[in-house]
């Protein structure tokens, strides 16, 4: 449900499926499922039929697919809800002969399942191998075509893993490896900045833009978003519903969630401002590249100016250095400078 160009990632997925004629969808839901079900309803607004099945405990990707066992029959697609897929990718899988998996190239193959391919078919999958073990840059894109025999493979797989089930199916018969380009993963915060920048479509309808403000064509403004006098909103930016960019502020290549506020004369670049967050007057989210640590793994030279979590505040005149992640309900005080990861509920003082 994280927004890209002012629409949830999952909505982009649904639109791609509907565009090529996939009109029966089963959503496997769990955590905060009411939000998803309220937003999508029965799917009528997208011209599809949506059924919901509940995964009470998150016990792996294969276990998630098993929840749909009674809801599907024959051939079906499996699509992750946190990756953008375009119509060409879906069409390629629909055209495959039997079981198939979408594969693509990645600069960071060790973040994914690395796929060994022989004669156009899956020969093996190694899940998140160590850097020195990765012999290929071809990864599993997490989009599959199966028939309902895959459920037996999932039941038999270790830890009910979809990757293990895929390997089992490949050992039993051919699983075609379909090479695709139209796939974008959103695994990390900087992915959201990058993907949003590519997806914005210049939709300014329903926003209140002051006549003296400048809003680039490649910007999406939500319903009742406000851009104040002499403010500048640069390309690659999304400003969510009821969010505010104050007078004289500059926002570029950023994702500003609903109800977030950018104060007068603030500068925000390459950033994610979550719901109800606030960047005060004359504050700065510098923008640029930084080394970022996530779950003990170091990612070098990623484009991430900063992240301001839900209900967090960067007070007037404060600065977030590139790569700073300010978790929920935190505050950087007036004139203070923050860097690295700032834990939830923390206050940084000058």
For 301-349, the pLDDT digits (tens) are 999 999 999 999 999 999 999 999 999 999 999 999 999 999 999 999 9
Task: Delimit the domains of the chain by residue range.
Answer: 3-183, 192-348
Give the residue with greater pLDDT, 293 vs 39.
39
Half-sphere exposure at residue 63, Cβ-oriented, CA atoms within 13 angstroms: 11
Task: Extract the tokens encoding 6.
Answer: 């002012």
Instruction: Give the right CATH number for 3-183 from 3.30.56.10, 3.40.570.10, 3.40.718.10, 3.90.550.10.
Output: 3.90.550.10
Q: Please give the distance of CA 58 from its chain centroid, rounded to a whole number.
A: 19
Please name the fold of domain 192-348.
UDP N-Acetylglucosamine Acyltransferase; domain 1 (2.160.10)
261 φψ region: left (φ > 0), alpha (ψ -120 to 50), beta (else): beta
Average pLDDT over residues 269-276: 97
pLDDT of amino acid 135: 60
CB atoms within 10 A of CB 108: 14
Cα dihedral 328→216→246→243 (10° resolution): -40
Q: What are the Cα distances from residue 139, in Å, to 104, 181, 245, 330?
A: 6, 12, 40, 37
Span 239-248, average pLDDT: 97
HSE-CB for 10 with a 13 A CA cutoff: 16
Confidence of residue 260 (pLDDT cuts 50, 70, 90): very high
Q: What is 10-64 written as a DSSP string?
A: HHHHHHHHHHTT--EEEEEE-TTHHHHHHHHTTSGGGT-EEEEEE-SS---HHHH
The C-alpha atoms of residue 186 and residue 82 are separated, in whole angstroms, by 6
- Percent above pLDDT 90 for the chain: 67
CB 258 within 8 A of CB 296: no
Q: Do β-strands 289-294 and 278-279 pair in parallel, antiparallel, or remain unpaired? A: unpaired
pLDDT in tens, 91-134: 999 999 889 999 988 777 667 788 888 888 888 887 776 654 55
- pTM for this predicted structure: 0.87
Question: Which residue, among 319, 317, 283, 287, has the nearest Cα to 302 in the 3D structure?
Answer: 287
Q: Count CA within 13 A, CB hemisphere, residue 202.
A: 3
pLDDT of residue 130: 62
Name the helix (H) or strand (E) containing 91: helix 87-94
**Phi-psi category of residue 181: left, alpha or beta, with phi > 0 → left and psi -120 to 50 → alpha:** alpha
- The CA distance from 152 to 172, in Å, is 12
pLDDT at 133: 53
Share of the chain above pLDDT 70, in %: 97
What's the rounded Cα separation, in Å, for the pair 57 and 130? Answer: 28
How many angstroms separate the CA atoms of 15 and 47, rounded?
9
Which of the two residues, 66 and 133, has the higher pLDDT score? Answer: 66
How far is 336 from 232, CA to CA, in rounded Å?
Answer: 24
The upper half-sphere exposure of residue 184, i.e. CA atoms within 13 Å in the direction of its Cβ, equals 19
Q: Which residues pair with 53 in a beta bridge?
A: 28
Residues in the chain: 350
Pairwise CA distance, residues 9 & 132, whole Å:
33
Q: How far is residue 65 from each of residues 71, 78, 115, 146, 242, measured CA to CA in Å? A: 10, 8, 20, 11, 37
Question: Taking residues 136-165, what's their average pLDDT?
Answer: 86
Q: What is the rounded distance in angstroms from the CA atom of residue 81 to the CA atom of residue 83?
A: 6
Average pLDDT over the chain, rounded to an integer: 91
Q: Which two tokens stand for residue 345?
A: 């509920």
């Amino acid at each position: 449900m994280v927004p890209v160009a002012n629409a949830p990632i999952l909505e982009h997925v649904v639109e791609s499926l509907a565009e090529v004629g996939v009109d029966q969808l089963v959503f496997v839901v769990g955590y905060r499922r009411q939000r998803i079900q309220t937003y999508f309803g029965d799917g009528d607004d997208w011209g599809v039929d949506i059924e919901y099945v509940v995964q009470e405990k998150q016990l792996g990707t294969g276990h998630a697919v098993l929840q749909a066992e009674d809801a599907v029959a024959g051939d079906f697609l499996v699509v992750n809800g946190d990756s953008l897929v375009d119509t060409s990718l879906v069409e390629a899988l629909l055209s495959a002969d039997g079981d198939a998996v979408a594969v693509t190239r990645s600069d960071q193959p060790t973040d994914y399942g690395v796929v060994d391919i022989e004669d156009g078919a899956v020969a093996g999958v190694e899940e998140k191998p160590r850097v020195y073990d990765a012999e290929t840059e071809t990864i599993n894109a997490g989009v599959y075509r199966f028939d309902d025999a895959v459920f037996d493979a999932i039941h038999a797989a270790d830890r009910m893993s979809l990757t293990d089930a895929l390997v089992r199916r490949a050992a039993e018969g051919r699983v075609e490896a379909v090479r695709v380009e139209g796939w974008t993963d959103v695994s990390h915060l900087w992915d959201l900045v990058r993907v949003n920048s590519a997806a914005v479509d210049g939709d300014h309808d329903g926003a209140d833009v002051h006549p003296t403000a400048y809003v680039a064509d490649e910007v999406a403004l939500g319903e009742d978003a406000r851009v104040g006098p002499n403010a500048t909103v640069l390309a690659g930016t999304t400003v969510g519903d009821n969010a505010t960019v104050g007078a004289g502020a500059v926002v570029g290549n950023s994702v500003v969630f609903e109800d977030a506020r950018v104060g007068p004369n603030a500068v925000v670049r390459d950033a994610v401002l979550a719901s109800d967050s606030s960047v005060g007057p004359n504050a700065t989210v510098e923008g640029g590249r930084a080394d970022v640590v996530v779950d003990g793994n170091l990612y070098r030279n990623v484009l991430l100016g900063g992240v301001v979590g839900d209900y967090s505040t960067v007070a007037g005149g404060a600065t977030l250095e590139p790569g700073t992640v300010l978790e929920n309900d935190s505050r950087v005080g007036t004139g203070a400078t923050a860097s690295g990861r700032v834990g939830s509920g923390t206050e940084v003082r000058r």
